[in-house]
Structure 1
C-alpha cells in the first residue's frame, strides 16, 4: 500500500508539472513571464529537405558506403531497403545534401502507398524548367515521353522515397519516364521496405542494418539527455538503456521518441517510475496481426502514452492529413483551436504554439521552414499510422467504408470521394457527429 501511495503522489506531481507547463490552470496563464513561443518558433526552422537533427549516430559509416554507390556510373538504380522506422529516409537525406551540387538536376519525390503517377510526373516536371505546363494536361504516356526527353543527356539524381509497390507491369521508373541504362547519366535511388519491390525494379540493393547496441544507447542518451546533464548513476543508466533496447528493437525512430519522452527526469526515483511504466506497457509481441508494422507502432505508442492529456488530441489530429503531407502550422493551430483542444485563455494562440513546440521536441512532429517563412510540419508514416489507430479508438471515421453510426468526427481524407460514392455507400450521418472535414473532395450534398 505504501508503494501504491508513493506512485499516486508521483503521478499527481507529474500532472501538476504538466499543467503548469501547458498553461492548463487559469491562474497561471496570466503570469508576467514572456511566452517561449516566439523564441521556440525561430529555433524550429530547418532545411526543407534535411531535418535539423544533430544526432547523426552511426550514420557516417553508412554514408561512406552509400555515397560511392550513388556516384558509380555503372549502377543506374539503387534501392535502399530496410524495415519501417529504421532510418532509411534520414540516411538518404544526408547523402542527398552532400551529392546534390554534383548533378545538373537533383530531385526528391515522396511516393508512398497510394501514389498517382501523373502527380509524380507533374512534381518531377516542375524541377525541369517550363516542362510542368506541357506535362499537366497530357496522358501519362505522353508525359513520360516529355520527361524522358527533358532528362536524357543530363547528369541527374532522382530520389523516389518510400516506394511501396512497383510490380513489373507497373514499374514506377518506366512509368515516370526516367531515362536509365544505355549510356544515360540519370541515377535513380529508391527507398522501400520490401526486397521484392527492389528486385522488380532491377535495382542494386543496399540493405540498411539496424543500430548496434552501443549506437542505440548513444542515440537514446542523445535524446534523453539533450543538454548532457545526465544525473542518473551509471548503473541505473545501463538498466534503462537495456530496457529501451529490449522494447525498441534497435529502431532509430523508436529510440528518438522514447528517449525524448523520458527526457527531463532529474532523479533516480523519477527514472525508476518511468522505467516501471516502460516495462509494464503491453506490446503483445506474439499477437497475430496482418500489419507487419504492428510491433513498431505499438512501440511508438509508448511515447504517445507518456504525453500529457492536453497534447494527445493535438497529436492524433495529424491523422486527418494525407500521407507525406506537409501542413501549414498556422492552419493546423486554427483547427486545434476550432476543435477545442486549446484552453480558452487570453493568449490562446501562443499556448497552441507552445503545444506544437513540445510535440516537435518529443520527435512526434518535424517542423520545417516553408514558403514565405511560414513553418510547416510533417509526420513520419508510422507515427501517422499510430495517429489513425488512436483516432479510430476515439470514434473517428476516415472512409465511407467505416462505421458512421456513432462517430464524433468524419475526416474524408481519402481523395476522389464524391456525391455518387456517398450515395452508393448508404452512409448515414450519426447524431453524435461534431466535425465533418472533406479535405478536397467535391461533395455538394450533405445529409
Structure 2
C-alpha cells in the first residue's frame, strides 16, 4: 500500500505538526525540532509521488517505501501523543481548581515532559532525515508512467468468441437503429468493471450495424481532442492535412461527418474533463440525424458527462454462458462431454468466477486439456488464488486502481478488512476513514462531507456497487468479488482479516478485522511486539457466538495492554458486559464501537480520558442505563450513536459542551426531576451547532419550558 505513505505524510504536515506548533507555547520548546521534521517530510513527500508509480515494479523502491512508512507512523504516534497531552492540560486548566493545575503541571513536570518530547521528536526526525539523505536517485528521474492499456484496441471480433451477450446486443442494437432520437447525434455509454466485456460488446454490435461511416477510436487515458480527431479521419480514409493544425483538422472532419450518417465508438474512456468533452462534442453534433456514438468506460461519471440516454450497465455472464465459455477455453464442448462430474466441477468453478469473462477465460486456459483429477484439484486448491496470482486479471484491475488519487487508494484498500459480500454502511465507512486520518482536511468543509465525496467517487468509478439509500438517506453498498480481491492485493500486509487463509500476521500489519467465529486475542496469531503497531481491531460480524464472560474480560484486558496505538476498536456484538477501566490507556483511540452488546449496563468514567475519541457507537445496547457523568471531557467526539438504548433514561449534564458533535441520534431528557443535578437540560442543544442527520428529542412532555 505505497499510497498510504503519501496520505500519512499529508496528515502529519496538514494536521499534526500544525496543531503541535500551536500548542508549543503551552507545552514547551520543541518548535525547532518540529520545523526540521516538517522540512524533512515535505522534501520526501515530493519524491514519494514517483515512488508510488514504481512501487510494484522495483523491490528496492518497495523496501525503501515500506521502511520509510514505518518511520512516518512513528512520527505520527509521537505528534499525536504531544497533542493529546496538550488537550488534557487545556481541559484540566478550564475545569479544575487552579491549585490542582499548579500541582499537576509543576515546573519540574513541565520540564520533564518538554525534554521527553524534544527527545522523541528528535529521534523520529533523525530517522526520517536519514531516508532523505540516502534517497534513491531513480525516484526523481523516473518519468511519469501512463496508466492506460499498453495495447490499442480494434473493432474486429469473431462471433463465436462472444458468449451470453445476446440480450446486451439487442439493447444496444435497438439504440443504434432508433431514428426517433431528439438529437442528431445520440450517445450511449456502456459501463462496467474491467474484464467484463465492454469492448467485446462494442465490437459485437459494430460489426453488425449499418451506417454510411463507421469509426473506431481507442481513447485510453489521454483524452486529447486533436489525437481523437486524427484517428477518426484515419478511420474515414481521409489523409491528414499537410499542416497539422486543429483548425484544418476540424474542417476536414466536419466536412466528412456532416454528409454521412456515422457510428463512432470511443473505446476505453477514462476520466474526462467536461470542457474537453464539450470541445469534441461540438465537432460531432453536425452529423445527419441518426448518427450514434458508443462509449465504453469503467467510470459512471464518464457516462454522466457524455451520455444523451441512460447508460447500458453491463452485468456478469449467466452461469450457463460462463460454463460454455469455460469449456471452450479448456478445449472441450459441453455437448461432447460424457462425464457428468466434469460438468459439475465446471459449474462450481464458474460460480466463483463472478460472471466476468476475463476470469472465465483465464481459468479455462489453465484447465486446457487437463484430466478430471486435475480439474478437481484446481477447483479445491488453485481457484481461490487465481485472481490474485494471474497477471492478466490483476493488471486489468490495477488499471482502474492506478487512476485513483492516493487518498482514494488508501480508503479503497482499507475495505479489504470486510468479508466478501459484506454490506458496507456508508456512514460507518466514512467514520472509519475519518478515525484513521485518511481524510484530507479542508477548512471550508466538514471531514464527513469530504469523506462522503470520497465514497461517491469510489462508487462512480465502480469500486463499489449496489448502492441503496435507506430512509435516513445514508445508504449501503458492497464490492464485486474481483474488486475485493483487488483491495486485498493492494493492501498487502497492511491489512489482515481473520479467516482469509493467512496463518500468521505480518510484523507490519496495522489493520485487523475478525468475524463471529474468532476468539478475540485467544485466536490471534500475533506476538506482543507486533501487536504494539496495530491501529485497527474491527469486528465485522453480524451475530456473535456465545463466549464465557470471564474469558472475554480477560481477553479485553490483554487487548488493551497489548494494542497501545489503536485508533479503532470495534467490539460490535461481542457480548461485552463490562468495559475495563484500563480503556483510558488507549490514548490514541478515535473510534470505539460497542454496538449490539445487549448486556452492557454502563461505561467506566475513565473512558472520558480518551480526548481523541471521535466516534462512540452504543447502538442497540439495550441494557445501557447511563453514560459517564464527565462526558463533556470527550472534546473530540463527533458521533454519538445511542439509538436502541431503551433503558437509557437521560443524558448527563455537559453534553452541550461537545461542540464537535456531528451526529447525536437521541437527546434524552429525564422524566424524573430528582436527577436535576446530573442530567442535561434542553438549553444545551444551543451549543450543538454542527449536528446533522436525524435527532430524536425524547420526553419533552416532562419539561415545563419546552
Q: TM-score, normalised by structure 1?
A: 0.48
Pick 1 or 2: higher relative contact order, CA cutoff 8 A, min separation 6.
1
* Structure whose CA Rg is larger: 2
